Amino acid sequence: MDLVHCVPRLPKAGETLRALSAAKHIGGKGANQAVAAARMGAAAEFFGAVGMDAHGDDALRGFEDNCVDASSVRRIEDVQTGTASIWVGKDGENAIVISSGANAHVTPSYVDDCLDKLAQADVLLLQFEVPHATIKHVLQVLPPGRPKIVLDPAPVAPLDGLNLSRLYCITPNEEELAQLSGARGPEEGARALQERGIGHVICTLGSQGAYALTPEGNSLRASAYKVDAKDTTASGDAFAAALAVACGMNGTDLGRALQTACAAGALAATRVGAWPSLPTRKEVERLLQAAGKE
């Protein structure tokens, strides 16, 4: 559950600011990406855990309202649903603090219980808001080749011990890429991750669009879209979901997938909140057409 406060600017250490507004929205990176994928036209299923609390009730109703299959979601007693405290400045930039709550109970044994369903997917989106051991287990036990696995490495955490060769692609932002690779610049950072066995490395660059390095060593860039940014909270999730949906469609080239993902991320920044900001396929196609990239 995202607890969002819009502020004149992000506060400094020790400073108290008066919020311009406050709101509550269902969120979480995995949940955002599941809803974003459904709005992009995919048959989306969410795997994870919520508490036996009102936030958990809201999340499950929200999945149903947004055509996301949540039948495998586990409810955990005596644990709260995960929360995020989000500050959003007037310029659209944000700062986020998360409390894992029930997300910490997405365990390797839970993965084993859901393995048959996971293996039937075309694409599996993973995030680091669940335990590292669970991500490690998923990459070990899923059969080779299917599903394609897209890892959004946020909140950023070390890649040590992960079967990185099982990833189809990884989608860090520029700061995450620098931390994961120890290198400066998207191209140098992407090549450093490829040396560790990852196939496609795709780096989001905010107002500069996105950069991709293919397994063949080819570099691709996608330009950004000029929009009136109000809240970047779920922009990365909209990008990752649109990219994953494109990866699951036969005949979609990576350049086209990047442009579509950039358009989805840009549109998400024009609205406040996580789920309320996620665009539909029609909205993305209209932006692509208006920009002459359809």
Residues involved in catalysis: 237
* Type of residue found at 134: T
Residues linked to residue 83 through DSSP beta bridges, in sequence order: 99
Cα distances from 287 to residues 34, 179, 263, 277, 279, in angstroms, run 22, 32, 7, 15, 11
The answer to whether 153 touches 159, Cβ cutoff 8 Å, is: yes
**Cβ neighbours for 145, distance < 8 A, ≥ 6 positions apart:** none
Query: What are the backbone dihedrals phi and psi of residue 213, each rounded to the nearest 5 degrees, phi first?
Result: -120, 120
Of 150, 141, 145, nearest to 116 (Cα)?
141
